[in-house]
Structure 1
Amino acid sequence: MITRLPRWVEVGGFWLACIAGAANAIGLLGFEHQSVSHLTGTSTLLSLALAELDVSDSIHLLGIILAFVLGAALAGALVGGEALLLGRRYGVALLIETLLLLGAMLALLAGSTSGHYLASAACGLQNGMVSTYSGAVVRTTHVSGLFTDLGTMFGAWFRGHAFNTRRAMLYLLLILGFIIGGSIGALLFLSVGFHAMLFPAFGAAALALVYWGYWLRTRGRSEKG
């Protein structure tokens, strides 16, 4: 049970959700209403394409799904372990995510659908980076699970179980970050088109630098202690 939420989990989770929310909003506005931060909508579109025997769309949507899985696989190879732990190679993963998002932007500006695959891989990479913290499932690229977890927590509370306020605060923070990021991404896309992808790309790079700085400072303190 979470009793104390470290600042790095709080800030990092919020900012990651903000990045994913922005990328997803840009995807919905610019990728023919395709989500990239999660695969629920994409899987449904694939089902429709298969039912209509639309080979071209089926291959394209399947490519987006496979790109997401490959991104998650890369995260597993880089980070390893399911629980959040300071010192793991999150910074490297974030820099790769930055490159994928920048590549997606350049491809989309050139009119290439390969940008869809690169953006999906970036979100798969981010989604695979974080899994749990102190027993709480940490999701930063979609919010359905977060709302589900909040609902079950309230249901358990109604039955007389203790309510984990710190965990609820973490979930609400992630939801807020996703919504704010989506709003920023939408506003930027309406103003500058696919150049809006610079926001989540540089956001990931900035978070990588902040993470490395915080980790080095924390390690220095522990060595002195």
Structure 2
Amino acid sequence: MLISEGDKRSFRIDGQLAVLFAAIAGALNAAGFQAAGFFSANMTGNASSFSDHMALGDWSLAGLFAVFISAFVLGAMVSGLLIQWGGARQSRAKYAYGIVLEGLVVFVLGGADLLQVLPTHGLILGLSFAMGIQNAATTRISNARVRTTHVSGMATDIGLGLATLLGAQSRDPESTARLRLYSMAMAAFIFGGILGVAAYLAIGGWLFVGMGVLLIAVALMRAFH
């Protein structure tokens, strides 16, 4: 799941990647909102909020959204650099490096949340960085077939897939597989969000600690499977 690239990847492998990491992203995004009132994966909404507050002259909130967006971009950049670094060394685990880092970040955020030592909005800043790492890694390894935090893209792909199926004279197996892939990813993101909020309300910061451990375990196991 975190090794195969390009033509070596099947829809089954991409489906596993999409469901697992979209569910994790949905859980972290929704739990972060429950905890701090901001989204860490929704860069479309954060960019719109930035524009809105800039237009209203609310510089402090505009700056906050700009920082969230910058953290996401920085995470994606770091993820890309780790992939390049691993590729230069011909490491089969090059995509796992970013996921391990994401897991460590989420784990530390969970611990800081439990100890109540996070600065204001620090949880969302860290989660935005983590979401950037994850989305970049899953995008690169799947040749952009899977974007685990980008729900607008998932919804667009589902709509285009439906149009292809409705307009085609014959049923196209690849189009059907793509539609199933995007639908599974979106459903996983939503379901993960529901579980994430429920878990955060029940156990608080332990959710992030557990998610961090899960990410690290998945990266280590799947990179060598």
TM-score by length of 1: 0.81
**What is the Cα deviation at residue 199 of structure 1?**
3.5
Of residues 28, 33, 36, the one that matches 1:28 is: 33
**2:49 matches 1:45:** yes
Q: Is the 8 A contact 1:102 1:201 kept in 2?
A: yes
Of residues 196, 199, 217, the one that matches 2:210 is: 199
Equivalent residue number for residue 179 of structure 1: 190
Q: Is the 8 A contact 2:26 2:190 kept in 1?
A: yes
Aligned counterparts of 1:134 and 1:57: Cα–Cα separation in 2: 35
Quick one: which amino acid aligns to residue 115 of structure 1?
A: L
Q: Is the 8 A contact 1:185 1:199 kept in 2?
A: no
Residues 142 and 52 of structure 1: is their aligned pair in 2 closer, same or farther, counting only changes over 3 Å?
Answer: same
TM-score by length of 2: 0.81
Aligned counterparts of 2:32 and 2:219: Cα–Cα separation in 1: 23
Equivalent residue number for residue 153 of structure 1: 161
Quick one: which amino acid aligns to residue 161 of structure 2?
A: M
Equivalent residue number for residue 218 of structure 1: none
Aligned identity (percent) is 30
Of residues 102, 107, 110, the one that matches 1:105 is: 110
Residues 136 and 63 of structure 1: is their aligned pair in 2 closer, same or farther, counting only changes over 3 Å?
Answer: closer
**What is the Cα deviation at residue 62 of structure 1?**
1.0
**What is the Cα deviation at residue 7 of structure 1?**
4.4
- What CA deviation, in whole Å up to 9, does each residue of 1:86-130 have, x standing for no partner? 935122111100111123334443241222211100000001112
Residues 119 and 61 of structure 1: is their aligned pair in 2 closer, same or farther, counting only changes over 3 Å?
Answer: same
Structure 2: runs of 5+ lacking an equivalent: 1-6, 85-90
Residues 139 and 51 of structure 1: is their aligned pair in 2 closer, same or farther, counting only changes over 3 Å?
Answer: same
Residues 213 and 88 of structure 1: is their aligned pair in 2 closer, same or farther, counting only changes over 3 Å?
Answer: closer
1:8-157 matches, within 5 Å, as: 8-32=13-37, 34-80=38-84, 87-108=92-113, 109-112=116-119, 113-131=121-139, 137-157=145-165
**What is the Cα deviation at residue 28 of structure 1?**
1.8
CA RMSD across the alignment: 2.7
**3-state SS in 2 of match to 1:131:** helix
Aligned counterparts of 1:136 and 1:92: Cα–Cα separation in 2: 19
Quick one: which amino acid aligns to residue 92 of structure 1?
A: Y
**3-state SS in 1 of match to 2:223:** helix
What is the number of equivalent residue pairs in this alignment?
A: 209
Aligned counterparts of 1:116 and 1:69: Cα–Cα separation in 2: 14
- What CA deviation, in whole Å up to 9, does each residue of 1:132-179 have, x standing for no partner? 677662111132211211211221222226532221221122122212
Residues 149 and 8 of structure 1: is their aligned pair in 2 closer, same or farther, counting only changes over 3 Å?
Answer: closer
- What CA deviation, in whole Å up to 9, does each residue of 1:53-85 have, x standing for no partner? 2222122211111000000001111124xxxxx
Structure (1/2) with the larger helix percentage: 2
Aligned counterparts of 1:154 and 1:134: Cα–Cα separation in 2: 21
Aligned counterparts of 1:168 and 1:159: Cα–Cα separation in 2: 14
